[in-house]
Structure 1
Amino acid sequence: MKIGIVLETKEHEKAWNALRFAITSLGKGHEVRIFLMGEGVEIEDIKDDKFDVTNKMHDFTENGGKLLACGTCIMSRHREDTTTCPISTMVDCVEMVEWADKTVTF
């Protein structure tokens, strides 16, 4: 199955759970893409001892997950493109939803 995830928050536990869901889905043989939107583009800045989002994000990408980030949301926060979260467009988001058999939001 192809699973698309839209993550719109930088809230520690929700971002952590989205990544846990994504990693578990990859482990079950599914293809997974995450599109970061709104404050979700700030996911790399989450620092929390209880909810280790940074390591989960690395686990996701190292296991074949694809991570995209809304360019407009990145630019509105005066952030730059990174190798972990390449700048993407709404067209990319629409294409992810079209590609996915199921789409989940967090």
Structure 2
Amino acid sequence: MQLGLIVETNDPGAIWNGFRLGNTALAAGHDVTAYLLGDGVEAPDQPAGDDVNPHGVMRKFLLEGGELLACDRCLDHRDLDGDELRPRAGMDELLSLIEDADETVTIG
């Protein structure tokens, strides 16, 4: 299965759970692409708490073979640069994610 995750929040708990789902899907042999949209482009910067670590769960997602994309205009709007956890992507890539996915889940 091809799973598409659209992350539209900077809430640490929601980010944590969304990428936990992505990591579980990867471990089960599925292909997963996550697209950070709106406030979601701030996800890698969210602080770790007692029970959640957004940055860490996102790093694991990449290391396990997940594909990660980030809205280029959303990054620009927040004066953020693209990086390993926020590779710049446009709406064409989001459309492709949706078209190619068997299932799409929005977090946020």
For residue 10 of structure 1, give the secondary structure of its aligned residue in structure 2.
coil
TM-score using structure 1 length: 0.97
Output the CA distance in 1 between the equivalents of 2:44 and 2:2.
24
| Whole-angstrom distance in 1 between the partners of 2:78 and 2:54 | 20
Q: Normalized against structure 2, the TM-score is what?
A: 0.95
- What does residue 100 of structure 2 align with? 99
Equivalent positions of 1:61-100 (< 5 A) are 61-100=62-101
Where does residue 52 of structure 2 map in the other structure?
A: 51
Q: Equivalents in 2 of 1:95, 1:4: separation in Å?
A: 10
Paired with 1:99 and 1:90, the residues of 2 have a C-alpha distance of 14
Q: How many residues align?
A: 106
User: How far apart, in 2, do the equivalents of 1:47 and 1:9 lie?
Assistant: 14
Misfit runs of 4+, over 3 Å: none
Structure 1 stretch 72-81 or stretch 49-58: which is displaced more?
49-58
5+ residue gaps, structure 2, are none
Q: Aligned partners of 1:7 and 1:54: how far apart in 2?
A: 14
CA distance in 2, matches of 1:52, 1:83: 17
| RMSD over aligned Cα atoms | 0.7
CA contact (8 A) 2:6 2:37 kept: yes
Aligned mates of 2:80, 2:42 — CA distance in 1: 9
- Give 1:3's aligned residue: 3
Between the two proteins, what is the percent identity of the paired residues? 34
Report the 3-state secondary structure (helix = DSSP H, G, I; strand = E; otherwise coil) of the residue aligned with 1:26: helix
Aligned to 1:33: 33
1:83 Cα shift? 2.1
